[in-house]
Amino acid sequence: MNIYDTVDCPYCGYENDMSHALTDGLSDDNKLDWECQKCDEEFEVTVEFEPSYSADKIVYHECDKCGTKTRNIYKRGMVFPFPESLEGKSFCKSCWAEAYLKECEKGSNIKL
């Protein structure tokens, strides 16, 4: 939710706290009936959801085999199966795929 979780009553102008309004869920049209916390008049509230964004730094990892810097790194312990023939911890996709295919061809001693 965003920070604007109050709504002004169309009758008396009171700022109703809506922060708990969605605990019972919301209908498909994003509307709900709300009783003013001050004047007890009932009114219709339309809930608008704002898009939200989050950001991360772009991190480049260096392949332990060929030295390529890549954003899409294959790490031992995070990727399964991981080819035993690769020495090191982090590899670019092509080094990983190459070793993986080789082990597949060999009849596979890949630990799953």
Binding residues (CB under 5 A) for Zn ion: these are 9, 11-12, 14, 36, 38-39, 63, 65-66, 68, 92, 95
Closer by beta carbon to Zn ion, 25 or else 97: 97
The answer to whether 57 touches 66, Cβ cutoff 8 Å, is: no
Closer by beta carbon to Zn ion, 20 or else 52: 20
Closer by beta carbon to Zn ion, 66 or else 104: 66
User: Going by C-beta distance under 8 Å and a sequence separation of 6 or more, which residues neighbour residue 18?
Assistant: 5, 6, 7, 34, 45
Shortest Cβ distance from residue 3 to Zn ion (Å)?
Answer: 22
